[in-house]
A and B are shown apart, each in its own frame.
Chain A
Amino acid sequence: MKASCYAALIYILMCHHLSAYASNSSDCGETDCINVGEWELGVAIGIGARSNPLVDGDVLPLIVLPDIAYYGESFYFDNFEIGYQLLPSNNQSVEVFVKPNTERAYFSFWHPDNVLLTFTSSPLDGPSTPTFPTIPGVPNEPTKPVQKEISVDDVSKRDWAIDAGVRWQYYQPSYRLSAFINTDVSGVYKGTNGGVNVAFPWRLNEWQFTSSLGAVYKSTALTNYYYGISIADTKSKDTFQAKGGWQYSFNTSASYQFSDSWQILLRFEITQLHSGMYNSPLVKDKQVTSVFSGFVYRF
């Protein structure tokens, strides 16, 4: 993952260099500005999926995706996040908000991200049991403790949680920096998460690109609630205490507007899970990958 992080950083720096020539406006662009008091509605239709790191977890299909936002003078609704913007200025803002925590999505097929279609297999849906040839005496995954895997189908139900948070953002023409901290206000996992993200928008001819790097800390309480194994999950005494840690992600998207209402959208994202999570017998992958390609219609 280190190599891929470096590759992502080099890619972003190259893009950033390009953007110095391609972008010279300090105002928000067409893609991230919205008229006050108007709904922004878009739907992306295409093909894509997000991998599921859980043992026997269903891949999350990305077929029809909404982009819904409404902004008042200070209040906003943006893709299921409801918030209030404090101290907005041209180049920075602070907002407080509530939003669903998406960790639960891996445990169920339904998620706001998804469409109700059944995928039986996907390139992103790795096998639930290793298929590498077994060499006697050599474990298949030497970095992961040898432990019996536990299927997501065999553990007790995890609940959806609601997070409340505060986010600070700093805007420049060539990048957008944000830092946030969220806490569970629904009493489900009773923990916190927080992180930083830097996004680089840039243009190349008619294509609009955004690439970002992010780091998110997920607390032990959060990680253990979703990925720990308690006596409620297993009939044996083999419990597992998941621990908090930092997850790193790289995201890039490209869009090409070819008419007033239509555009092409391509997205790719990879997240490196932290060891306190992927060491869980419930987790089989160290990364989560998300890809999508399709068409966007803006109403």
Chain B
Amino acid sequence: MNKFIITFLLIINATFAQASIWTVEPNQCLVTDAREYCETDVIFTLNIDLIEEYCVFEDDVKIGCFLPSGSPIIIKRKIDKPLVFTLVGEQGGIIARANVDLTVLQAQRKRRRVKLPWSIF
């Protein structure tokens, strides 16, 4: 009955993609109700030497590029739907992909009411 959203989270194993070119953590947001979501830092770590510029995109939006120092990219994200990130090289080619999934635990089964609320009026 409580419709307001509680932040939950999180997890878990990092995403190892494309022979561990990069790591994305977490790779999953666990909630107990479909109306809940996670609010967390998503950390992108490059596991190879920086021989060209690598940038991270979410859909077609650039989130950031790895610096020569090799430090990870950290963004704060609300995860209320599955996210897909891509690692793009200098020439624009996609090097790797990583998903952050939204998983609903023990989803409470719902039904649509056959009458609108307050139909007793």
Contact = CB atoms under 8 A, between A and B. Distances in A.
A215 to B, nearest CB: 17
Interface residues of B, number: 19
Interface stretch (B56-64, B84-92, B106-114): B106-114
Contacts of A93: 112, 114
Interface stretch (B1-9, B38-46, B95-103): B1-9
Contact of B108 (A35, A167, A260, A292): A35
Contacts of A38: 1
A19 interface: no
Nearest to B114: A95
Contact of A267 (B1, B2, B113, B118): B118
A292 B112 contact: no
Interface stretch (A72-80, A216-224, A225-233, A273-281): A72-80
B113 A78 contact: yes
Given A35-B108, A36-B109, A40-B1, A83 B120 contact: no
A241 to B, nearest CB: 31
Interface of B: 1-4, 35, 108-121
Nearest to B35: A30
Contacts of B114: 76, 78, 81, 83, 85, 93, 95, 97, 167, 169
A28 interface: yes
Given A66-B120, A267-B118, A299 B1 contact: yes
Contacts of A171: 112
Contacts of B3: 30, 257, 260
A34 B118 contact: no
A3 interface: no
Contacts of A195: none
B120 A69 contact: no
Given A67-B118, A69-B115, A80-B120, 4 more contacts: A28-B113, A69-B113, A71-B111, A81-B115
9 contacts: A31-B117, A32-B113, A35-B109, A36-B110, A67-B118, A79-B120, A80-B120, A88-B111, A171-B112
Contacts of A76: 111, 113-114
A51 interface: no
B121 A267 contact: yes
A55 interface: no
Given A62-B121, A88-B111, A269-B121, A32 B1 contact: no
A260 B35 CA distance: 14
A33 B113 contact: yes
A33 B111 contact: yes
Nearest to A290: B121
Contacts of A139: none
Nearest to B34: A27
A251 to B, nearest CB: 8
Contact of A113 (B1, B111, B120): B120
Contacts of B35: 30
Contacts of B109: 35-37
B5 to A, nearest CB: 10
A35 B113 CA distance: 10
A242 interface: no
A50 B118 CA distance: 14
Nearest to A81: B115
Interface string A56-94: 000000100111010100001011110101001000010
